[in-house]
Amino acid sequence: MKPIVSDLGDLSNDEIRRYGRHLIMPEFGMEAQRRLKASSVLIVGTGGLGSPLALYLAAAGVGRLGLVDYDIVDESNLQRQIIHGQSTVGVSKTESAERRLNDLNPFLEIVRYDVPLTSDNALEIIAPYDLVIDGTDNFPTRYLVNDACVKLGKPNVYGSILRFEGQLSVFYAQEGPCYRCMFPEPPPPGLVPNCAEAGVLGVLPGTIGTMQATEAVKLLTGIGDPMIGRMLLYDALEVSFTTIKVRKNPKCPVCSIPADQVELIDYEEFCGVPAHDHAPAEALSTAEEAFDADAPVPQITALALKARLDQGESPVIIDVRNPPELEIAALENTVLIPKPQIMIAVDEVLSGRKPIEDTVIGQIPRDREVLFLCRSGVRSTDVIYALRDLGYHPASLINVEGGILAWAREVDASMPMY
Amino acid sequence: MPNIRIPTPLRAFTSNEAQVQVGGATVGEALSNLTVRFPELRQHLYDGETLRSFVNVYLGDEDVRFLDGLETNLEEGDSLRIIPSIAGGAG
């Protein structure tokens, strides 16, 4: 394919020395390096995928990198987000990344966008770039990035990861399919867990992000065959790489219509989930009000629970986390029923396939108050809503506010947080 | 028997099995047999009798929609794969 960057930048002698390993390859040479120098890449998300992406593209000699992220660096990011470090915990991710990238390559120009990418600002942010790389962590932003790229005629280097699996492709509507050709609609909310809930091997974004960076360099310089019309599926446990075909959908709701008629929509509404993979308290309370304003989930704080336990009470506490999480931190005398098991059982009961007493829900009493606990209070809230559909009285199902993290913060400072 | 590869998000409904061997002479029969064995899967794969739009089923490297859909013939040892829609970027 011909390079998407037609301009050739000028390289100083210092830059020529720096990029020598590129320049001596006949397939690459001065021309490709000068194209990289003239190129601009927007990286959406400076997290797991964005870290290796930004590092390698900066090192390789891309002229201008735009970084979109409104998050701040947290210690729990450092298991995989290697562009950040202990010294930048608490700093905005784009600033943290900028510091590292300036150290890696002083010839690089960096533009920071400390805002969420939304339907209102996406076109303006994306327009000045040659290429976009999707390193986000949620469905609404992925559909937004795709639709905006189709509208603006930009290639979108896609990477996505979960647990031990990754996907890689290049969506470029002018040359092949777009993301919506493969995934016209998002899965229903709740079916596909995010990394915050299901976990991810810390090395995996390194594998996929690095391959996204490779695809970006190929597209910008016109070397090799980009992953347009194909998707790579990587399974880290099996070490299997499988390539499948992605066809352009002639009825694609986005890339089959003229680009100027593509409209950016409300992607959170379209996907039914918020545009991030964590749930701050205010988002949670909004979700509750939207579900049933008259019956918000009753909450108990960690301190209030501690006080009740100290007084000798022994409430039923159901821990809905997954077993590996209990090995990190747990309360005593709780009943473990992981959320996925409860959700399956709710479905079995509602569809009439099984009576309640034959499922795990049979262990959850109806005649008294039951407390639900997870890591941060999100999954336990989901479980409570699901159980209400089975006729549990709303007042009897109580959420431990902030989950085991709140317990670690407010009650037991020796407990690890994760 | 055809082999069906189950993606991570759906393994909660297959007792964590990543690969399942099922009988079936067509893609539709194999998927139907899969959901008989794991009934919880059915609502995630089907909307009535048709596959849900976000479920991508591949035979080898080809989307079955571009073969004969659920009527696509299967041979002994064929590999079917359900391609999940995942969004993680480890933010």
Q: Does the pLDDT value for residue A304 go beyond 80?
A: yes
Position A285 scores a pLDDT of 39
Closest Cα of chain A to B48: distance in Å? 14
Residue of B nearest to A276 (CA): B91
Closest Cα of chain B to A73: distance in Å? 10
**How many domains is chain B partitioned into structurally?**
1
Cα gap A122→A387, rounded to integer Å: 39
Per-residue pLDDT band for A279 (boundaries 50, 70, 90) equals very low
Q: Does the pLDDT value for residue A280 go beyond 80?
A: no
Nearest to A344 among B13, B63, B86 (CB): B13
| Residue B59 included in any domain | yes
A chain contacts of residue B69, beta-carbon cutoff 8 Å = none
Q: Does the pLDDT value for residue A119 go beyond 70?
A: yes
| Residue B7 included in any domain | yes
A195 is catalytic: yes
- Report the CATH superfamily, name and number, of domain A281-410: Rhodanese-like domain (3.40.250.10)
SS3 label, residue A279: coil
A chain contacts of residue B13, beta-carbon cutoff 8 Å = 344
Highest-pLDDT range among A135-144, A187-196, A303-312 = A135-144
Catalytic-labelled residue, pool A149, A178, A181, A195: A195
Position A273 scores a pLDDT of 81
Q: What is the largest CA-CA distance in chain B?
A: 43
Which one, of B35, B16, B31, B88, lies nearest residue A341 by Cα?
B16
Residue of A nearest to B12 (CA): A340
Are B12 and A340 in contact (CB < 8 Å)? yes
| Residue B90 included in any domain | no
Are A242 and B83 in contact (CB < 8 Å)? no
For residue B83, the cross-strand partners are B56
The domain locations on chain A are 13-271, 281-410
Per-residue pLDDT band for A278 (boundaries 50, 70, 90) equals low
pLDDT tens sequence across A54-111: 999 999 999 999 999 999 999 999 999 999 999 999 999 999 999 999 999 999 999 9
Select the residue from B14, B19, B85 to test the A interface by mutation, using most A Cβ atoms within 10 A: B85
Range of the domain at B38: 3-83
| Residue B45 included in any domain | yes
Are B90 and A81 in contact (CB < 8 Å)? yes
Position A263 scores a pLDDT of 94
Q: Does the pLDDT value for residue A259 go beyond 90?
A: yes
Cα gap B30→B74, rounded to integer Å: 9
Nearest to B87 among A81, A137, A246 (CB): A137
* A307 vs A173 pLDDT, higher one: A173
Cα gap A275→A138, rounded to integer Å: 6
Report the CATH number of the A13-271 domain: 3.40.50.720
Position B8 scores a pLDDT of 82
Q: Does the pLDDT value for residue A143 go beyond 90?
A: yes
B chain contacts of residue A276, beta-carbon cutoff 8 Å = 91
What CATH number does residue B59 fall under? 3.10.20.30
Are A195 and B90 in contact (CB < 8 Å)? yes
User: DSSP for B14-77?
Assistant: TTT-SEEE---SBHHHHHHHHHHHSGGGHHHHEETTEE-TT-EEEETTEEGGGTTGGG-B--TT
Size of interface A-B (CB pairs under 8 A): 122
Q: Does the pLDDT value for residue B29 go beyond 90?
A: yes
Cα gap B59→B64, rounded to integer Å: 6
pLDDT tens sequence across A384-396: 988 988 888 888 8
| Residue B38 included in any domain | yes
Cα gap A82→A181, rounded to integer Å: 32
| Residue B11 included in any domain | yes
CB of B84 closer than 8 Å to CB of B9: yes
Per-residue pLDDT band for B52 (boundaries 50, 70, 90) equals confident
Q: Does the pLDDT value for residue A240 go beyond 80?
A: yes
